[in-house]
Amino acid sequence: VISGIHHLGVATDDLAATVSRYRRLLGARVDHEAVVVDQGVRAVSLAMPEGPAVELLAPTGPDTPVGRFLERRGPGMHHVGYLTDDLLGELARLEGEGAELVDATPRSGLFGLQVAFLHPGTLHGVLTELVQPERGSVA
Ligand code: CO
């Protein structure tokens, strides 16, 4: 079952400035920070009193997935992350429905999450991530 929106992913080329602005203008609180070198991303998860988190993503260099996204599209909305308690089962179901999977099998994502992405073409131009918190995860 996909039970709700877990977070919204936003791409930025200046992580510190973006964090500062989200805190000042929206009252967001920094929840987690991470650098994932092999995925080429620095990330900050922001929490609001209610609702999904905002995951700010900055590239570690131009030749990374987020770096290429910024080159093509500029800063802004990057993906929507949906929460599931059965990532493997949902991937199998979605594949059966004809969804185009970026990740055929779950992989380790940010903040101790198991994740898998669906191609934007599957959901009308929106890169979509399925998220399952690992047991004992902070997220
Ligand atoms: Co995400």
- Taking the centre of ligand 1 as the mean of its atom positions, its distance from the CA of residue 6, in whole angstroms, is 8
What is the band of 47 on the pLDDT scale with cuts at 50, 70, 90? very high
- Taking the centre of ligand 1 as the mean of its atom positions, its distance from the CA of residue 39, in whole angstroms, is 12
**Quick check: helix, strand or coil at residue 126?**
coil
- Taking the centre of ligand 1 as the mean of its atom positions, its distance from the CA of residue 24, in whole angstroms, is 23
Strand ranges, E, within the chain: 2-11, 29-36, 41-47, 53-59, 76-84, 107-108, 113-118, 128-133
- Taking the centre of ligand 1 as the mean of its atom positions, its distance from the CA of residue 68, in whole angstroms, is 16
This prediction has a pTM of 0.92
Report the first-to-last Cα separation within the chain, whole angstroms.
Answer: 18
Question: Rounded to the nearest 5°, which phi and psi values hold at 39?
Answer: -105, 0
**Quick check: helix, strand or coil at residue 110?**
helix
- Taking the centre of ligand 1 as the mean of its atom positions, its distance from the CA of residue 45, in whole angstroms, is 9
Kindly report, residue by residue over 91-138, the tens digit of the pLDDT. Answer: 999 999 999 999 999 998 888 899 999 999 999 999 999 999 986 555
